[in-house]
Amino acid sequence: DISFFLMLTCSFCWLAARISSNVTLPCLVQHSSGMMSFGSNGMRVKWTKLGADESLDEDVLTSMGFHKKSYGRFEDRVFLQDTHDEDASLVITDVSMDDMGRYRCEVINGMEDTIQEVTLGVLDNISVVFPYSPPVGRYNLNFHEAEQACLDQDAVVASFDQLYEAWRGGLDWCNAGWLSDGTVQYPITKPREPCGGANAVAGLRNYGLRDKDTSLFDVFCFASALKGHFYWLVQPERLTYDEAVQACLDDDAEIAKVGHMFAAWKLQGYDRCDAGWLADGSVRYPISTPRKNCSPTEAAVRFIGFPDKSQKLYGVYCFKAQQ
Ligand SMILES: *[C@@H]1O[C@H](CO)[C@@H](O)[C@H](O)[C@H]1NC(C)=O
Ligand SMILES: *[C@@H]1O[C@H](CO)[C@@H](O)[C@H](O)[C@H]1NC(C)=O
């Protein structure tokens, strides 16, 4: 009964890079059959970063024969990948937030012209978006409860832009959650049958605006950089939930919240293959380096569940706020 529509229809012409990394913007020249190849040194290539209108376009790089030139803030930071004759792909090194935007590649190769555009997203390293469902199970939060659920994790309800950026960074989640604008959406990077269709393109699936009092969904929360220290409490025994809370207090800390674990995992690469209690009564562990028996296929915060709080099977993650 719930319909969705695709926010984004272009799954190929954008890509995301992490801040400070190197990224390659693809631009491949198609030769019609019989055309003679001039080689990359015979091509004239021009890369431009597109502004809101033409007067705001920025030159990035031009190449003609052996003569190559980069411009402005791209100077000495960009070069052509040049792996083969038809390759006019651009490498940008040390990516910054300002590099985010749309780029155009123009190639004149003999008689042929090629124009391609690619959009670059840049992922900051100062925030994280994560899905949250409460102990009673998924699809149990109205909008107001969703706001409180994120606050309880030291986070806030994510905005559309924040979820969109997280999706560009690879977030894939098949349960719909509230966003701060009162819409309900979910991000899919690997299209599959139960999540809007195996043949649908990657994108944000949007259920639209929902009644904030009566509609029940999960929520996407947004947390920024940790203002404190997140850690696994080294201690000899496995603990009940109440013992876990006390163990952190005894260490001059508090039991960590879900937002703390996601922030430590995403922003600091925190990695620990031990399941531990968190403040909401859930048990999770953060894996940055996928490996056998931990999280073999992907870096992720693994979720064990909301076990019976008297179970003595787990350790605990603590958080010490900055003084
Ligand atoms: C980016 O590319 C430059 C130039 O090729 C190289 O020196 C540098 O190590 C690369 N940086 C990363 C993070 O890969
Ligand atoms: C984010 O990246 C910048 C640039 O590389 C670095 O200076 C900063 O320390 C990083 N911040 C965090 C929270 O990792």
Atom of ligand 1 nearest to the CA of 93: 1
Higher-pLDDT residue of 199, 282: 282
CA of 201 to the centre of ligand 2 (A): 32
- pLDDT, tens digit (0-9, with 9 covering 90-100), for 143-157: 999 999 999 999 999
Atom of ligand 1 nearest to the CA of 21: 13
Distance CA 186, CA 204 (A): 6
Stretch among 15-19, 81-85, 233-237 having the lowest mean pLDDT: 15-19
Question: Could you tell me the pLDDT band of residue 3, with boundaries at 50, 70 and 90?
Answer: very low
pLDDT at 199 over 80: yes
Question: Which domains are present in the chain?
Answer: 4-123 (2.60.40.10), 127-223 (3.10.100.10), 226-321 (3.10.100.10)
The number of residues making up the chain comes to 323
What is the DSSP secondary structure assignment for residue 72, as one 8-state letter? G
Average pLDDT value for residue range 191-214: 90
Question: Could you tell me the pLDDT band of residue 9, with boundaries at 50, 70 and 90?
Answer: very low
Question: Residue 209: its pLDDT value, please?
Answer: 97
CA of 264 to the centre of ligand 2 (A): 13
For residue 98, which amino acid is it?
A: D
CB 218 within 8 A of CB 179: no
CA of 20 to the centre of ligand 1 (A): 10
* β partners of residue 25: 90
CA of 126 to the centre of ligand 2 (A): 8
Give CB contacts under 8 A, 24+ apart, made by 99-105: 99/17, 99/49, 101/49, 101/50, 102/49, 102/50, 103/25, 103/47, 103/48, 103/49, 103/50, 103/60, 104/47, 104/48, 104/50, 105/25, 105/27, 105/45, 105/46, 105/47
Q: Which ligand is the nearest neighbour of the Cα of 94? A: 1
Percent of the chain clearing pLDDT 70 (strictly above):
91
Q: Which ligand is the nearest neighbour of the Cα of 21? A: 1
21, 22, 122: which to mutate for ligand 1, most atoms within 8 A of CB?
Answer: 22
Question: Residue 212: its pLDDT value, please?
Answer: 97
Question: Residue 6: its pLDDT value, please?
Answer: 26
Question: Could you tell me the pLDDT band of residue 315, with boundaries at 50, 70 and 90?
Answer: very high
Question: Could you tell me the pLDDT band of residue 12, with boundaries at 50, 70 and 90?
Answer: very low
CA of 208 to the centre of ligand 2 (A): 35
Residue nearest to atom 11 of ligand 2 (CA): 125
Distance CA 244, CA 274 (A): 14
CA of 125 to the centre of ligand 2 (A): 6
Residue nearest to atom 4 of ligand 2 (CA): 20
Question: Residue 32: its pLDDT value, please?
Answer: 53
Q: Which ligand is the nearest neighbour of the Cα of 269? A: 2
- pLDDT, tens digit (0-9, with 9 covering 90-100), for 245-266: 999 999 999 999 999 999 999 8
Question: Could you tell me the pLDDT band of residue 113, with boundaries at 50, 70 and 90?
Answer: confident
CA of 20 to the centre of ligand 2 (A): 8
Question: Residue 237: its pLDDT value, please?
Answer: 93
- pLDDT, tens digit (0-9, with 9 covering 90-100), for 52-76: 888 999 999 999 988 999 999 999 9
Average pLDDT value for residue range 97-113: 84
Question: Could you tell me the pLDDT band of residue 296, with boundaries at 50, 70 and 90?
Answer: confident
- pLDDT, tens digit (0-9, with 9 covering 90-100), for 160-178: 999 998 887 778 899 999 9
Residue nearest to atom 10 of ligand 2 (CA): 125
CA of 105 to the centre of ligand 2 (A): 30
CA of 224 to the centre of ligand 2 (A): 13
pLDDT at 213 over 90: yes
Q: Which ligand is the nearest neighbour of the Cα of 93? A: 1
Question: Residue 149: its pLDDT value, please?
Answer: 98
Tokens linked to 250: 């005894």
As for ligand 2, residues whose beta carbon falls within 6 Å of it are 19-20, 125-126, 225, 267
19, 24, 82, 93: which to mutate for ligand 1, most atoms within 8 A of CB?
Answer: 93
Question: For all residues of the chain together, what is the average pLDDT?
Answer: 87
As for ligand 1, residues whose beta carbon falls within 6 Å of it are 21-22, 93
